[in-house]
Amino acid sequence: MKKIVNIGILSAALLATSCSKDYLETKPTDQVGEVTAFETTANAKLVVNGLAKMMTQQYLGSQGFNGEGTIKMYYGNYPGNHFFVNLPGWAAIINSTFNENVTSIYLYYPWYYYYKIIGNANAVINKIDAASGPETEKKFIKAQALTFRAYSYFMLSQLYGNRWADSNNGATGGVVLRLDESTGDLPLSTLGETYKRVYDDLDEAIKLFTESGKSREKNHEMNINVAHAIYARAALTRLDYPAAEDHAVKARAGFPLMSVADYKAGFSTPNAEWIWSTYGASDETLYFYSYQAYIAYNSTASAVRTYPKCISRELYNKIPATDIRRGLFLDPAGDTYNTNTGLAGATLKARAFQLFPALDPAASAYAYMQFKVKANDMPGVGNLNHFRSSEMYLIEAEAKYFQNEPATEIQQLLVDLTNGSGRDASYTCTKTGTDLLNEIKTYRAIELWGEGFDWFDMKRWNEPIIRKEYANGGNFIADLAKTIQPTENNKWTWKIPLRESDYNGALE
């Protein structure tokens, strides 16, 4: 992969730093390189591999921005309800106070990152038809680029757009829909128009994937299942429940739920359940800036050794004793620990090392620390999952609930996911009404913990972030034990970065 992605990035290096609009520059640094990149389908395939590589690169020179991993950690995990790390110095990020600071690099990063992918995807979409090569390859390549673009616009819409429930049926502002390589002035599209573009791109991608008759070779590549998975997640966020249910079923076809052994293996190597992931290996690493260097319990990076990532005490207590997922977190079980920070005492620390000897010898131990995510190599090498079939079960269950479909069908989905997979062989579900919805939400939080969903789910559900200190039944330090209402912080909507509005006259 190293050779492929390097060529792909070089030949589609569309964000040069040569002018004042470098934040959205889509002209290649080498015009001859661009011609070569799209001369044949073989070359264009390398460019698409470059899109995948963009999701695991370091950006903006600081702050640990590492592609998609940063989106999961800084924007999904940190500001959510159930992810604790003893970082009072990061309270501004964790408490979501930067989303109206239009000059902040944290407000700018997702905009920069996703438009970088979009600009490169646009080049593929608009040039592949003129390349020489089999028509089936052109269709497959274009389908992949359309899927990358749809994913990027959807992610932007979640951050920089209102909740669909707050959008007046999509009439509020969305994002700038750039569909070519121009950098001219362009106004915001509405949120409704943004979702329509996501849908249109995915519809076209699914059509082209089907017509191409081709399949991918690696899990980090796009295929029709990925397009359906993005569609399902986007439709759920748009409250389009029939589409969410339909595409969730299609997305998980051919991706059976992982075994118990795979579940305990560290979430760093693709298995049968992984629909799409980002590639990671020892010769393709960001070292201390990689995602696993910020979360993997066995990492040698100080970001983990000193500040291990922990589940919230309240969510942990909801995991049944018979559920294998409970064993992926450090149960204090009567041992002493600091009830201000969670730092383990000597006995609890010793038990952590006994249970998980892969811990770095210099690592700290905390009550409720996670052992779900592990690195394959040091300091933080591993593949990064983006979609799993388990999420599709949960999407289908939630979509069925809001369509008032039979409770027995929803209960069965939860049983299939939890009992049928072996996650909890004792699990049954007979709940109905609001209790059934709460069961879906609880098991979504348990199943997807640490994978970047927490904040996005709470925003979609229009529910408050409620973090408590130990004295009140939680495990958050005082600086992070906050209640954040859905109406606060610009309704959790990130404002358009100044670097966009300064150079885009249509936004003035």
Structural domain includes residue 242: no
State the burial class of residue 300 (Cβ atoms within 10 Å of its Cβ: 0-12, 13-18, 19+): middle
Q: What is the DSSP string of 142-196?
A: HHHHHHHHHHHHHHHHHHHS--GGGTTTTTSB------SS--S--PPPBHHHHHH
Instruction: Please name the residue ranges forming H helices in 282-367.
Output: 292-295, 302-305, 313-316, 346-355
Q: Is the pLDDT confidence value at 6 over 50?
A: no
Structural domain includes residue 251: no
Mean pLDDT, rounded, for 14-36:
40
User: How high is the pLDDT of residue 35?
Assistant: 67
Q: Strand pairing partners for 278?
A: 384
Structural domain includes residue 404: no
d(CA 195, CA 325): 35
Q: For position 160, which CATH number holds?
A: 1.25.40.390
Share of the chain above pLDDT 90, in %: 90
Structural domain includes residue 40: yes
pLDDT tens for 157-167 read 999 999 999 99
Residue 124 · residue 142 · CB < 8 Å: yes
Structural domain includes residue 339: no
Q: Is the pLDDT confidence value at 67 over 70?
A: yes
Q: What is the pTM of this model?
A: 0.94
Q: Strand pairing partners for 412?
A: none
Which amino acid belongs to residue 121? A
d(CA 134, CA 154): 31
What range does the domain containing 79 cover? Answer: 2-214+494-507
Q: Strand pairing partners for 339?
A: none
Structural domain includes residue 174: yes
The total number of structural domains in the chain stands at 1
User: How high is the pLDDT of residue 34?
Assistant: 63
Looking at residue 493, what DSSP letter applies? Answer: P
d(CA 80, CA 95): 9
Structural domain includes residue 332: no
Task: Give the pLDDT band of residue 26 (cuts 50, 70, 90).
Answer: very low
Task: Give the pLDDT band of residue 303 (cuts 50, 70, 90).
Answer: very high
User: How high is the pLDDT of residue 4?
Assistant: 29
Q: Is the pLDDT confidence value at 116 over 90?
A: yes
Structural domain includes residue 371: no
Which amino acid belongs to residue 51? L
Give the Å distances, CA to CA, from 37 to 68, 139, 147.
25, 16, 20
Q: How far is CA 12 from the centre of its chain?
A: 24
Both tokens assigned to 352:
């952590």
Please enumerate in sequence order all residues whose Cβ is within 8 A of that of 360, keeping only pairs 6 or more positions apart, or say none. Answer: 298, 299, 300, 304, 305
Taking all residues of the chain, what is their mean pLDDT, rounded to a whole number? 93
User: How high is the pLDDT of residue 7?
Assistant: 32
Q: Is the pLDDT confidence value at 183 over 90?
A: no
Mean pLDDT, rounded, for 406-424:
98
Mean pLDDT, rounded, for 464-489:
98
Residue 466 · residue 81 · CB < 8 Å: yes
Both tokens assigned to 235:
């439709």
Three-state SS for 321?
coil
Position with higher pLDDT, 135 vs 16: 135
Q: Is the pLDDT confidence value at 9 over 60?
A: no
Both tokens assigned to 472:
């009140």
User: How high is the pLDDT of residue 284?
Assistant: 86
